[in-house]
């Protein structure tokens, strides 16, 4: 059972060793690094070398990277959006190039999963951002590079028509020329789109990554699990029933003071551990 933290929590700052020290000090053993050049400059090999040293110092494992979704994050806003599903060929190719650069980090710091957005979440995206044919071309171009680095592409459940659970399953099971595709179940996004348990069940067999966070049912709050309206008992059991055995990754809101958030995340992690133990016992009884 592996639990990790996304550096989304720190995305307003340049990633440094102290951030990883803080994650490790709270008992987490994995990280997902957000590829954003004013946070972690994935195009600078020196940044990757430094990251490798910090991971070694803190005994953390780099589980995943989140592919670029914007050029920068500043003053609480994402700017210069990046879309692998852009209908404009220049924008689409620029997004592919940025994602390839994030994949290249694996040559210096190996990781298992690259989480990618299929277009732009509603209501921020337009049809020009979310074109299925463009997305397919992008994934087919990225797949060989991902295979070369031993990385799987995890397409994330996000609120748009391309990225509903059923749409992502249809994409993976289509004749797309891209191997090793899986799904990142973003629980907060799934809740905004409908029923979380239904979403998990729909993606059964394809789940390779998680983003765990809560919300109040109206906006993408990225709260610590248990601080919103999501039924985590049912959610955890649903993950267990479909056989998910990967890293449980908290993707929490950007915070000026991370320590209180991490302390809350520790309590949420302990709750998950208890729920999983109970779920194992319940499924064991069902088998008998």
Can you list the residues of the chain whose pLDDT is less than 70?
285-288
**Nearest CA to 101 among 142, 46, 51, 54?**
142
State pTM to two decimals. Answer: 0.96
Look at residue 1 in the predicted model and tell me its pLDDT. Answer: 83
Look at residue 286 in the predicted model and tell me its pLDDT. Answer: 61
- The dotted CATH code for 3-287 is 3.20.20.150
Domain ranges (residues) in the chain: 3-287
Note the pLDDT tens digit of each residue in 206-264.
Answer: 999 999 999 999 999 999 999 999 999 999 999 999 999 999 999 999 998 999 999 99
Look at residue 287 in the predicted model and tell me its pLDDT. Answer: 58
The full 3-state SS of the chain, as one line of letters, equals: CCEEEEHHHHCCCCCCHHHHHHHHHCCCCEEEEECECCCECCCCHHHHHHHHHHHHHHCCEEEEEECCCEEEEECCEEEEECCCCCCCHHHHHHHHHHHHHHHHHHHCCCCCEEEECCCCCCCCCCCCCCCHHHHHHHHHHHHHHHHHCCCEEEEECCCCHHHCHHHHHHHHCCCCCCCCCEEEEEHHHHHHHCCHHHHHHHCCCCEEEEEECECCCCCCCCECCCCCCCCHHHHHHHHHHCCCCCCEEECCCCCCCHHHHHHHHHHHHHHHHHHHHHHHHHHHHHHC
Note the pLDDT tens digit of each residue in 63-75.
Answer: 999 999 999 888 8
């Amino acid at each position: 059972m592996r639990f990790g933290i996304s550096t989304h929590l720190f995305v307003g700052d340049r990633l440094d060793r102290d951030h990883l020290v803080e994650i490790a000090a709270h008992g987490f053993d994995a990280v997902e690094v957000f590829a954003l050049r004013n946070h972690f400059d994935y195009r600078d090999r020196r940044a990757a070398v430094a990251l490798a040293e910090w991971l070694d110092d803190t005994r953390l494992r780099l589980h995943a990277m989140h592919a670029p979704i914007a050029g920068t994050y500043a003053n609480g806003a994402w700017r210069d959006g990046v879309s692998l599903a852009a209908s404009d060929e220049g924008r689409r190719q620029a997004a592919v190039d940025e994602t390839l650069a994030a994949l290249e980090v694996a040559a210096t710091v190996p990781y298992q999963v690259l989480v990618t957005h299929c277009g732009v979440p509603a209501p921020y995206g337009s049809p020009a951002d979310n074109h299925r044919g463009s997305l397919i071309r992008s994934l087919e171009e990225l797949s060989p590079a991902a295979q070369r680095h031993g990385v799987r592409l995890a397409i994330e459940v996000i609120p748009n028509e391309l990225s509903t659970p059923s749409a992502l399953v249809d994409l993976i099971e289509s004749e797309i020329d891209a191997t090793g595709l899986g799904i990142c179940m973003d629980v907060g996004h799934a809740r905004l789109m409908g029923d979380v348990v239904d979403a998990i069940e729909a993606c059964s067999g394809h789940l390779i990554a998680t983003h765990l966070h809560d919300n109040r049912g109206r906006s993408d709050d990225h709260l610590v699990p248990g601080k919103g309206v999501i039924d985590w008992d049912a959610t955890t059991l649903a993950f267990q029933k479909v056989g998910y055995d990967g890293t449980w990754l908290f993707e929490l809101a950007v915070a000026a003071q991370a320590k209180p958030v991490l302390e809350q995340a520790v309590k949420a992690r302990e709750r998950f551990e208890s729920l999983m133990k109970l779920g194992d016992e319940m499924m064991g009884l069902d088998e008998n």
